[in-house]
Structure 1
């Protein structure tokens, strides 16, 4: 009986270490993607069209190089559908030279990143879901203090934290 318990314990530990090893590349890539999203959000919150353009390009690159095969089958389906929305929205931000238009594209991008972050659960740090009642929109933030990408300097701190997605 002790031998069986020992064998089961060793097998479980081995399987767990393999799963963790498989998640390492996807976790690193996801957090790179999340950082590119935050850079885009921060640029919009600071009314910086040029920085939003540059960071949106980085976001497209991060999404395009993500190791999708390292995710579970269910996560892969979610990733593929949301990644299309993110790429399309980020490409629109890159093409647009008007801050107002960039912010319109950011809404779909934020919705997709919110879904991915909640479901994929690979974030290395707490992520804050923030909501602006004036814009009636949510976004992700790397800090708890509100930084509103939809109104920028006009209402930089308008909004509230509605949820915290704990680090995994």
Structure 2
């Protein structure tokens, strides 16, 4: 009986050690993959914003499709159940808004949807932000429309012809 207990103990110790070694070897790879996913989401959002700046509705549609796909592929980590449910709900709302942007080719409708999308995106921006990147929450004081940028420089995606530089940085991450 004692031999069985000792053998079982040795087996479990070896198994635990193998799992620890396995996790140590895989972790940097997973961290790198996750950072790439976060960068993809942020870059796709910024591409969408930048396409609104140049008033290219077809490019906005393409950017929206890419953003939608990258959001669907992302999984939240290090959240308790309540936080996970909240983040997942917000992500789904953003995905639905992105789908609305993708469904229309009218630049004014795209911009209107982008207002709501940007506010919701900012709520989850800490989860999507790449470690070595700063994001700025900007607002147009004339309309209170918000957007996220990777630059302090104001380039208003809602009124690029009339009020390109109208806005202010409200917060940063």
Establish whether TM, by shorter chain, passes 0.5. yes
Match of 2:155 among 131, 141, 147: 147
Structure 2 segments unaligned to the other structure (5+ residues): 1-20
Change over 3 Å in CA distance of 1:31–1:135 after alignment to 2: same
Per the normalisation by structure 2, the TM-score is 0.76
Residues 53-86 of structure 1: per-residue CA shift (max 9 Å, x gap): 1100000000011133x34235532331111111
Larger radius of gyration: 2
CA contact (8 A) 2:154 2:164 kept: yes
The answer to whether structure 1 residue 123 and structure 2 residue 127 are counterparts is no
Distance 2:129 2:50 in 1: 21
4+ aligned runs moved over 6 Å, structure 1:
none
CA contact (8 A) 1:92 1:105 kept: yes
Aligned residues: 147
- Any residues of structure 2 matched to 1:33-72 within 5 Å, and which? 33-68=41-76, 70-72=77-79
Match of 1:91 among 90, 99, 117: 99
Root-mean-square deviation over aligned CA pairs: 2.2
Distance 1:147 1:121 in 2: 22
Per the normalisation by structure 1, the TM-score is 0.78
Please name the residue that 2:143 is paired with.
Answer: 135
Please give the secondary structure, in 2, of the residue aligned with 1:152. Answer: coil
